[in-house]
Structure 1
Amino acid sequence: MTRPAAGARRYRLDRSATPAGWAEPARLDDTQRAVVEHPGGPLLVLAGPGTGKTTTLVEAVAHRVEAGLDLGSILVLTFGRRAARELSERITARVGAAVGGTVAWTFHAWCYAVLREFPRPGDPPPRLLTGPERFTRLRDLIEGSREIGRPRWPASLRVCLRTRGFAEEVEALLSRARAVGLDPAGLAELAVRAGRPDWAALAEFYTDYLDTLGFEGAVDYPELGHRAVALVRDPELGHAPRARYRAVFVDEYQDVDPAQERLLAALAAGGADVVAFGDPDQSIYAFRGARVRGLLDFPTRFRRADGSPADVRALGVCRRMTPSVLAASRQVASRLPMSGLPVAALRAHRALVSAEPDQAGQVEALSFPSEGAETEAIADLLRREHLTGGVPWHRMAVLTRSAEALPPVARALTAAGVPVDMAGDEPPLAARPAAALLLTALRCADDPASLTAADTRALLLSPLGGADPAGLRALGRALREHARAAEEPATVQEPATVQEPAAVEEPAAVEPAAAGSPEPDAAGSPEPDTEDARAARGLASSAELIRAALADPASIPDGVDAELARPVTEVGALLRAASRRSGGAPVDALWALWEGTGWPARLRRAAASGYGATRRAAEADLDAVVALFDAVGRLGERRGPGGGARGLIADLTSQDFAADSRAGAEVRPDAVRLLTAHRAKGLEWDVVVVRGVQDGAWPDLRAQHSLLGAEQLDAPERGGLRPPETSRDRWAEERRLFYVAVTRARRRLVVTAVDTAGEEGVTGENGSRRGEFLTELGVRVTDGSTWTPRPLNLASLVATLRRLAVEPTASPALRRATHRRLAALAAAADHGDRPLVPAAHPDRWWGARELTSSEVPVVPADEPIRLSGSSLSSLRDCSLRWFLEHEAHAGRPATSAQSFGRVVHALADEVTSGRTPATLAALDARLDTVWRQVAFEAQWRSDQERAAARDALARFLDWHAAERGRVLVGSEQRFSVDLTVDGRPVRLRGSIDRLELDAAGHVHVIDFKTGRAAVAPRDLAEHVQLGTYQLAIREGAVDPGSFPDRRQGTGDRGGERLERPGDAPPEAPARAEPAAPPEAAQAAWPAGRGDRPAVPGGAELVHLRRDADGDRTGPREPGEPAGPPQIQRQEALPAGRSWVDELLGQAVRTITTETFAPTPGPSCDYCSFRRSCPAWPAEGGQVVD
C-alpha cells in the first residue's frame, strides 16, 4: 500500500498491470460471424454458456468501428465493474484506439455519470449513497417516524418497527417500487386498489425518504435508474445523451430489471440500435426484479424501423465444456420451458455443439448417507485432483444453493487441508478485525477519555501492541504490588462494608459440585486476591491499572520491568502520535496508526510468502485495511474538511453490512472457490462440485413471501400487481439455477446429495432424500457411502511414515525407506529456509524426547512450602493434578457452582458477624442484591439456583439458632501458621468458616458445604480439610487471647450462648482425648488467661444444600419450609502424631522431590486434565512414538 500525495486522499495496492496492446481479430464460428456482421437494427443474441458471448460482443463493436462508426457513439452496458473493465480493455485493445473515456459501463455507473454530466439547472451534482448508508438512513427515518407519529403505521407493524428485519423489508419494497416505475403517488393508489394499509403508510414514508435525499443532495442506487430514464426522456435535457449513441450493446440482458428496460427503450427512441446478449435459461435473479419475460419480449419491444420484430440469432458452439459435461447440461436444459421466441432460434440455442468433440471429460452424480460423509468425499476429490491431476486450487469450485450452507463446508474443507476462498456476504467493514482494530485505536487517539479496560486489552494484545496474555498478567501483578506498596488506593473508592461473595476464594474441589470452605491455594497470598476483593480494599483491578498506564505511560512506576511495560509504552506513544494528527483530516491519524508499527511489513511478508491459514488471514487483513482507507477517503469527500474522526467512526460503525469498495480485490488466492450458484454466474472452473442437491434444499420450492409484499409489485403499465407465483414458476426458477451451476464446469462435473431414505424410499427422522435434479444429468447415481480413501495430506503422510518407522512387523528395508522419506520431508524448506514439514523432524516428536526437569525448583529451599487443606487434599488424590492446577495454573475457571458457594458463605458470615439480621426475609433481600454477580448460561438455571440458595440460607438459619452448648469465637477466620516438616519450613494457611468453643475450652471447626453430595462415612474420619483445620488449631493458628469469656451466658461480640434459654445442654458426644498443645505454642500465648492453650475439639461439615435426613438437595415447593441441614462430624485429633501429620509429611516430600505422578481414582471423574493424562491412555495417553 502506498501513501498518496497530500490532498489526493486515495489509497490502493501496488498491483500495476501492463497496458493492453493491440489484439488480433478473433477466430469466429458461423453463428458468431452472423451476429458480428448484422447489418443494423435491434438484435437479440441468444448466448448459451461458453459460446463466446464476450468475444462476439467485442468483435461486433470492432466491426462497427471499422465500418466508420465513432467509438464514442457506442455504449456498452453490463453488470459488475469487473466485467465492465474487462470489456473496455478488450474493446480498446481490439480497435487499437486510445480512448479518452470509458467504453463499457455498468448500468449504475452510466446513470450516475450522465446525471452528473447533464444536471438540471440549479441542481448540484448528486451524491451517491452506498448500500450501508442508505440502510442507515432508512433505519433513522423509521425510528423518527415512531417519534413523530408520521406516517401512521398499521397496528400490526408497530411492534416490529425497531427491528433490522423490518428495515430490510422497507428497503426491498422501495427498491422494487422504483424498479417497476412506481412513485409514492402510484404506490398510494395501488394501496387503495389492493386494500393494503401498510402500502399506504409506506407511500407516505417513501415521500419523506425522497425529500430527505433531496435535502441532502443525495441519490441511492434505485433512484439512479429512475432519474436517468427521466433525463433521457426529457425533450430538452435528454437530447444530448439520446443523440450521442448510435448503438447500444447490452450484456446479460436476462438480468435487466424494468427500470433498465425503460432506459434502453428511451435510448432506442433516439435512434440507437440496441443489441442484447442474453440467455433465458440463465435468468436467476427474479428476487432482484429481473424477469425472464423481459428477454422473451425483446423482439416485440425493440422493433425494426419497419415495425417488424427484432431479429433473433443464437450462438451455437460451446468452447467451455467437454462433450460429456455439455451433454449433461443439455439434459437439464431440455426440461426448461420454451416460449415467447422463434422456435428455430430456441432450438439452435439449446442444441449446442462442442468446439472440441474429442476432449475427455467426466460427469458424476453421487449420494451420501450424511452431510459429513458428503463433505469428506468432496475434500478428498479436490485434493486428488490437485495432487494427482495437477489442477490448481483456484481452478476448482464448490457451489451450493444457499449461503447458509457455505460456512460448515468451508470449515470442513479447511480442516481437511483444502485451501478455501469463500465468497459470501462480507461483514460490515467495522466488524472486520484489522479495520476494527484501527478504528478502535483512532477513537482512543482522538478521544483519550473513551479508553476503557477492554480497549486497553484489545490494543495491547493486537498486532499494534504485540503483547501476550501471560505478559499482561505479569504486568498487572507488578502494578498491583506497587499500588499496595504506595499504601494508598490506586482508585478512590469507598471501603466495602460488606465482603462481596465473589471476593471469597474457593478451594480446589474435593467434591465434584461442592463449593467448600474458602481457602487460598498453595501459591496464593494469605489475603484474597480476586478483582472484587481488591476493589473492596480500595485497590484498582489489574485491568484498570494497565488502562491507566496506557493512558499515561509516564505514570508507570520505575520498579516495573521495562520489558513487561514495553507494549504499553509503545502503544501509548503510537496513540499520542496519532492524536497529534487527529486535529486535521482523520485519514492522517489513521495513517499514523497504520504505519507506526511493524504490522504492515509483517502482513506483507505473510501475504507474499506465508502458507495456509496464515497467508489467508494476512490477505484478509490487507484487504480490510485497503477497504478502510478507501471508505475513509470517500466519506472524507462527502463530509468535507470539517468532518472529524468521531463522525467518521460513527458513520462506519453504524453500517450493518459491507459497502461496495472501489478497492475490491482483483487478485484471488490460490484456493478452491466456495460460493453460491447465484454468485457463480459468469464464472467457470475446470472442476466443479455442485453440493446439496436433495429434496427441500435444491430445489427449494417454498413460497417466497415477504412481510410487506415487495414481490407483488409490478409496472403500472401491467396493472401494478404481479400474479401469484405458481409451483411451475418455482420449479422453472430452481431448474434454471441448477442449470447455471452445472454449466460452470469445463472438464469435470460432480453433483452430490444426501440420501438417508430407507429401502422403501421413506425418509427417516431428520433425514433427506436426493433431489430430482440429481437424476436429470443423464448419468447413473452412485452410492458414495463406501467412499473411504486414505487422506492425501501431509499430516496423514507423516503419521503413516512415523507409524511404519516403529512398526515391529515392518521389514528392515521398509523401515530404511521410511526413514529416508521422513528425512527428506524434514529437510524440505522454503526460500526463507523455513521447514515445510516440521512435523517430520524427530525434534518435534515429543515421545522421542527424554523427560526433562526444571532447573528452578517448584519451591526454593529457603522459602516455606505453602499449603492449605485443599492443597493437601489435592496432593493426596493426585499430585500431578495439584501441580497442573496450583503451579502451572492450568485449571478451569470458576464455575457457577463455586460462585453459588461464595454467595452462601458470604451471607452466612454477614449473619454471624451481625451485619445482617438473622431472618430469612433479610437474607432473601440481601441475596437479591448480590445474585446478579453469579453468571449462568440460562435464565431458568439462574432461577433454579436462586431458589436453592434461599433454601440453603434457611437451613443455615435453622442451624445457627440451634443450641450446641458452645459459643461462637470466630467467623471466616483466616490463619497462617509456620511449621517444620522433615527439615523443611512449611506455612499452613487457610480460612475457617466458623469456630465455636465448648465449656471444656475445646475449639470446634465448622465448615459449610454447598455441594449436593455428602462425604462418604468411611472417608469422614480422615477428611483432609477438616483434619488440616484441627492440626492448625493444635499448632497455634488460633489465638485464645481473642476468645470471649467462656463462662455460661457471658461473652464478647459474637460469643453468645447458642443454647436456647431454659434448655439443658445436650450430652457431649464421645470422642478421643484431645491432643495437648505444644509447649512452644503455650509459651507464645498471652499470659494472664489462666487457661491452657486452645485445643481442637473436633470438626463438622454442615451441608446447607441437604436436609438432615439427606433426602432433599434441590429447591422446595413454594411455601414448603426448609428443615435443618445434614451434619457430618469428625472427631478430635488424637494426642501425638496423627494421620494429618503423616499426610503433611508425604505432601512435603512429594513437593521437595517433585515426583508429580498421576493417581487414578474417583477424583478423575471431574478432573480437568483427564483427556491428556497418561493414566487414561484411551482418552489421551503419553506420546511415545
Structure 2
Amino acid sequence: DNAQTSDGAKLSTQWQEIALRGGNRGASADRDLDAMMQLFQSAQRFSERFPLSGAQAFIREISAEIIAGDVITAQGVRPDCVEILTVHAAKGREWDLVAVAGLQEGMWPNLRQRSSLLGAERLVERERHGNLARTELDVIAAGALLEDERRLLHVATTRARHSLFVTCVSYEDDQPSQFFEEITDAILNKSSEELDQYSLPRPITTPALVADLRSALSGEQAQEAASIIKALSDAGIHSADPQSWTGVAQLSTTEPIVDPTKAVPISPSSAENFTECGMKWFLEKSGGTDGDSIAQVLGSAIHAFAALMVQEEGITESILVEKLKNSWNLIDPQEGWVSKGSQDKAIAMISRFMKYHIKHERDVVGVELKFDVTVGKARIIGTVDRLEVDSAGSLFVIDFKTSKDPITYEKVKENLQLKSYQIAVTEGGFKAHHASTTSSGAALVYLGHDIQKISSREQEPIDIGAARTQIEGIAQSMGAAQFVAATNKRCKECPVKSSCPIKVEGRTVIE
C-alpha cells in the first residue's frame, strides 16, 4: 500500500474515495481496485509455485502471458439469474422470458459497412453484379446488410417460449428502429404511437441523487434537502460539495495568461488553429496532446530531407531515398505491409519534392530559416521551410505539406499561416539572409497528394496593413483570460475533446 499519486497522496485511498462517490468515475475506480486485487492474487500464486523467484521474474511471467492466468479460487454457481448475452450466443437456446433492449434506428439495424481491410467483399459484389457504379454497389450492400440484421432479430425474438419484451427510446435524436415498427405492426397490429410509453426515472446513482436534492433546494422541502446534501458532503461525496457545483465556486483567476504590457508570442500555424477553436488551441498549448504521431514524425523527416537537398552538394533523389530507408525504423518502428505502404508513400513525397526543386523558377535563398518579428502586441516567431527570390528581387515563402488534401483556392487567400510569412518578409524577418522586404506571395506545396503532379496553393501579395491588424487581434485574444470552444468539422478527431465542455466526452469538466 505504498503507491502514491503525483501529489503524494496514497493511491489506494484516492481510488477508495472515488469508488464510494459512485457514477462513471466510481465504476472506473472499482475496476482499478479489482484489477489490483487480481494482480496481488496472481503474485501470491506465483510465489507459491516459485518461492525463490523475485519480483522481476513475476513481471516477466505476467508480461509474457497471452491468455489471462486461471483463477484457482472456486467460482460461484448461480443457476437462477438473468443472462445477458449477444444474439449469436443465444442461438439454439430458449428462455421463458426474453428482453430485446435498445431497438434504436442506427443501432439495429446497423447498416454501416463492415468492410474487410483489403475490401475483398467489394470485388465479390462487382463480380456478382457486373460493372456497376460504386453508389449502386453501396445500395446493394446496404440491402444485404438489412436482411442480415432482420434475420438476426428473428433469432433474438424467437428465443422466447412465453413472453417477449422489446424496448426502445424516443427522445430527441434517438428514435425507434424500423424493426420496432415491423414487430408492433405484425404482432399487435398497432403502431408505435399506440403503445404504452413510459418516462424513465433517474438511475439510482449518487450523482442522480445529488441532482434531485439540488432541484429540491428551490422547493418546499429545501431545508430537508440541504440537510441531506450536507450529510453527503460530510461523508466525502464530492458531487454533494457545493464548491464543486458549476456556477457556485469562484474562478481561480480572471487574469490574462500573458502580461498585457508585453507582446504575445504567436506562431504562423497557431494563428490558423486559434481561429478554428480557441479552446483546442489553449488546451494543446497547455500540454493536452500526446506525443508526436507517426504522421508528424514522417512530416518532420520529409522536411529535413528537403532541406538537406539544398544544404549539401551532390545530393540526389536516390541518396535521399536511401537515407529514408536507413532511418525508417526511427520513423515507424512497426513492421509489415502497412509500414511498407507508408514507406512507399514517403518515397513518393521525396520524388514530388525533387520535381518541384528541379522545375522551380525562383532562386533559393535558404531553407529552415527562423524569424522573429514584432507587430504591435503580436510577436510572430517561426521557421519557413524554404525562402525563394524572384527576378525582381521580391521574396516568396514556400511551406511544404505532407498531407494529401489541399485546401481550396478560396481558402488559401485568407490562410493566416501564409499571411504571417508575408508579414515576416515585410518586417525584415529575413534580412540576415536577403536584404529585400518585398513579398511576392507565399504558397503551400503538397507533397502527399496522390497524383504525380505537384499540387500547390499560392497566396498573392496581401494587404499588409489589414493582415497586421488581423494578426495583432488574434494575438490579443491568445493572451486573454477566456477561450471559446467552437464546433467545427475536425471535432471528431480532436485530441482534447475529453476536456471540451461542448462535447459529451468533456461535459464532466463543467458538470
Q: With structure 1 as the length reference, what TM-score do the two structures score?
A: 0.32
Using the TM superposition, give the Cα deviation of residue 1147 of structure 1 relative to its aligned residue in structure 2, in angstroms: 2.5
The answer to whether the aligner puts 1:854 opposite 2:253 as a matched pair is: yes
The answer to whether the aligner puts 1:959 opposite 2:356 as a matched pair is: yes
Larger gyration radius, structure 1 or structure 2: 1
The answer to whether the aligner puts 1:902 opposite 2:229 as a matched pair is: no
1:975–1:1037 Cα contact (<8 Å) kept: yes
1:1011–1:1103 Cα contact (<8 Å) kept: no
2:450 to 1103, 1114, 1126: 1114
The answer to whether the aligner puts 1:1141 opposite 2:483 as a matched pair is: no
1:868–1:990 Cα contact (<8 Å) kept: yes
Using the TM superposition, give the Cα deviation of residue 1128 of structure 1 relative to its aligned residue in structure 2, in angstroms: 3.0
| Alpha-carbon distance between aligned partners in 2 of 1:660 and 1:1155, rounded to the nearest angstrom | 53
Using the TM superposition, give the Cα deviation of residue 695 of structure 1 relative to its aligned residue in structure 2, in angstroms: 7.8
1:970–1:995 Cα contact (<8 Å) kept: yes
The answer to whether the aligner puts 1:1095 opposite 2:424 as a matched pair is: no
| C-alpha distance 980-1097 of structure 1, shift in aligned 2 (>3 A) | closer
2:399–2:444 Cα contact (<8 Å) kept: yes
Superposition RMSD in Å: 4.8
The answer to whether the aligner puts 1:466 opposite 2:9 as a matched pair is: no
| Alpha-carbon distance between aligned partners in 2 of 1:644 and 1:1160, rounded to the nearest angstrom | 53
1:929 to 312, 326, 343: 326
Amino acid at match of 1:1026: L
| C-alpha distance 916-930 of structure 1, shift in aligned 2 (>3 A) | farther
Using the TM superposition, give the Cα deviation of residue 793 of structure 1 relative to its aligned residue in structure 2, in angstroms: 0.6
| Alpha-carbon distance between aligned partners in 1 of 2:509 and 2:41, rounded to the nearest angstrom | 45
| Alpha-carbon distance between aligned partners in 2 of 1:844 and 1:820, rounded to the nearest angstrom | 20
Q: With structure 2 as the length reference, what TM-score do the two structures score?
A: 0.66
1:693–1:753 Cα contact (<8 Å) kept: no
The answer to whether the aligner puts 1:1025 opposite 2:417 as a matched pair is: yes
Count residues in correspondence.
Answer: 434
Amino acid at match of 1:1154: A
1:693–1:699 Cα contact (<8 Å) kept: no
Counterpart secondary structure, 1:946: helix
| Alpha-carbon distance between aligned partners in 2 of 1:1126 and 1:464, rounded to the nearest angstrom | 58
| Alpha-carbon distance between aligned partners in 2 of 1:804 and 1:861, rounded to the nearest angstrom | 42
The answer to whether the aligner puts 1:827 opposite 2:230 as a matched pair is: yes
The answer to whether the aligner puts 1:793 opposite 2:201 as a matched pair is: no
Counterpart secondary structure, 1:1138: helix
Which runs of structure 2 are paired with 1:371-410 in the superposition (5 Å)? Answer: none
1:783 to 153, 156, 165: 165
| Alpha-carbon distance between aligned partners in 1 of 2:312 and 2:444, rounded to the nearest angstrom | 20
Deviations 1:54-94 (A, max 9, x none): xxxxxxxxxxxxxxxxxxxxxxxxxxxxxxxxxxxxxxxxx
Which runs of structure 2 are paired with 1:481-630 in the superposition (5 Å)? Answer: 602=13, 613=27, 614=29, 617-618=32-33, 621-622=36-37, 624-625=39-40, 628-629=43-44
| C-alpha distance 466-1004 of structure 1, shift in aligned 2 (>3 A) | same
Using the TM superposition, give the Cα deviation of residue 970 of structure 1 relative to its aligned residue in structure 2, in angstroms: 0.7
2:364 to 947, 968, 971: 968
1:972–1:992 Cα contact (<8 Å) kept: yes
2:427–2:437 Cα contact (<8 Å) kept: no
Amino acid at match of 1:1146: G
| Alpha-carbon distance between aligned partners in 1 of 2:279 and 2:229, rounded to the nearest angstrom | 34
Amino acid at match of 1:769: V
| C-alpha distance 765-865 of structure 1, shift in aligned 2 (>3 A) | same
| C-alpha distance 877-947 of structure 1, shift in aligned 2 (>3 A) | same
Structure 2: state its 5+ residue gaps: 110-147, 169-196
| Alpha-carbon distance between aligned partners in 1 of 2:158 and 2:342, rounded to the nearest angstrom | 52
Counterpart secondary structure, 1:798: helix
Amino acid at match of 1:995: L
| C-alpha distance 907-625 of structure 1, shift in aligned 2 (>3 A) | same
The answer to whether the aligner puts 1:917 opposite 2:315 as a matched pair is: yes
| Alpha-carbon distance between aligned partners in 1 of 2:18 and 2:443, rounded to the nearest angstrom | 62
Counterpart secondary structure, 1:993: strand
Using the TM superposition, give the Cα deviation of residue 994 of structure 1 relative to its aligned residue in structure 2, in angstroms: 0.7
Aligned to 1:1130: 459
1:798–1:822 Cα contact (<8 Å) kept: no
| C-alpha distance 971-464 of structure 1, shift in aligned 2 (>3 A) | farther
Using the TM superposition, give the Cα deviation of residue 1140 of structure 1 relative to its aligned residue in structure 2, in angstroms: 2.2
Aligned to 2:267: 868
Counterpart secondary structure, 2:150: coil
1:692–1:698 Cα contact (<8 Å) kept: no
Deviations 1:570-625 (A, max 9, x none): xxxxxxxxxxxxxxxxxxxxxxxxxxx9778x599889989765467546635643
Using the TM superposition, give the Cα deviation of residue 990 of structure 1 relative to its aligned residue in structure 2, in angstroms: 0.6
| C-alpha distance 1161-782 of structure 1, shift in aligned 2 (>3 A) | closer
Aligned to 1:455: none
1:763–1:769 Cα contact (<8 Å) kept: no
Deviations 1:17-74 (A, max 9, x none): xxxxxxxxxxxxxxxxxxxxxxxxxxxxxxxxxxxxxxxxxxxxxxxxxxxxxxxxxx
| C-alpha distance 764-1099 of structure 1, shift in aligned 2 (>3 A) | same
| C-alpha distance 878-694 of structure 1, shift in aligned 2 (>3 A) | closer
Deviations 1:236-255 (A, max 9, x none): xxxxxxxxxxxxxxxxxxxx
Counterpart secondary structure, 2:417: helix
Using the TM superposition, give the Cα deviation of residue 891 of structure 1 relative to its aligned residue in structure 2, in angstroms: 4.2
Deviations 1:897-928 (A, max 9, x none): 43443232222112122267232x33333332
Counterpart secondary structure, 1:689: coil
1:879–1:1157 Cα contact (<8 Å) kept: yes
| Alpha-carbon distance between aligned partners in 2 of 1:1131 and 1:909, rounded to the nearest angstrom | 24
Deviations 1:835-879 (A, max 9, x none): 34x434543321x33672626641235754211111222334443
| Alpha-carbon distance between aligned partners in 2 of 1:650 and 1:635, rounded to the nearest angstrom | 13
Counterpart secondary structure, 1:1095: coil
1:693–1:771 Cα contact (<8 Å) kept: no
Amino acid at match of 1:1002: S
2:397 to 997, 1000, 1005: 1005
Provide the identity percentage: 20
Amino acid at match of 1:994: R
| C-alpha distance 805-939 of structure 1, shift in aligned 2 (>3 A) | farther
Deviations 1:292-340 (A, max 9, x none): xxxxxxxxxxxxxxxxxxxxxxxxxxxxxxxxxxxxxxxxxxxxxxxxx
Counterpart secondary structure, 1:1039: coil
Counterpart secondary structure, 1:1142: helix
| Alpha-carbon distance between aligned partners in 2 of 1:609 and 1:1157, rounded to the nearest angstrom | 34
| C-alpha distance 828-905 of structure 1, shift in aligned 2 (>3 A) | same
| Alpha-carbon distance between aligned partners in 2 of 1:765 and 1:938, rounded to the nearest angstrom | 40
2:500–2:507 Cα contact (<8 Å) kept: yes
| Alpha-carbon distance between aligned partners in 2 of 1:1183 and 1:653, rounded to the nearest angstrom | 35
Deviations 1:1065-1090 (A, max 9, x none): xxxxxxxxxxxxxxxxxxxxxxxxxx
| C-alpha distance 851-1147 of structure 1, shift in aligned 2 (>3 A) | farther
The answer to whether the aligner puts 1:1157 opposite 2:484 as a matched pair is: yes
1:971–1:994 Cα contact (<8 Å) kept: yes
| Alpha-carbon distance between aligned partners in 2 of 1:693 and 1:1094, rounded to the nearest angstrom | 71
| C-alpha distance 1138-1020 of structure 1, shift in aligned 2 (>3 A) | farther
Which runs of structure 2 are paired with 1:75-474 in the superposition (5 Å)? Answer: 464=2, 466-468=4-6
2:283 to 863, 869, 884: 884
Structure 1: state its 5+ residue gaps: 1-462, 472-566, 568-596, 666-674, 701-737, 743-749, 807-811, 1044-1092, 1107-1112, 1116-1121
1:916–1:922 Cα contact (<8 Å) kept: no
Amino acid at match of 2:270: S
Which runs of structure 2 are paired with 1:940-955 in the superposition (5 Å)? Answer: 942-955=339-352
2:97–2:164 Cα contact (<8 Å) kept: no
The answer to whether the aligner puts 1:1035 opposite 2:427 as a matched pair is: yes
Amino acid at match of 2:267: S
| Alpha-carbon distance between aligned partners in 2 of 1:693 and 1:1011, rounded to the nearest angstrom | 41
| Alpha-carbon distance between aligned partners in 2 of 1:1002 and 1:936, rounded to the nearest angstrom | 43
2:401–2:446 Cα contact (<8 Å) kept: yes
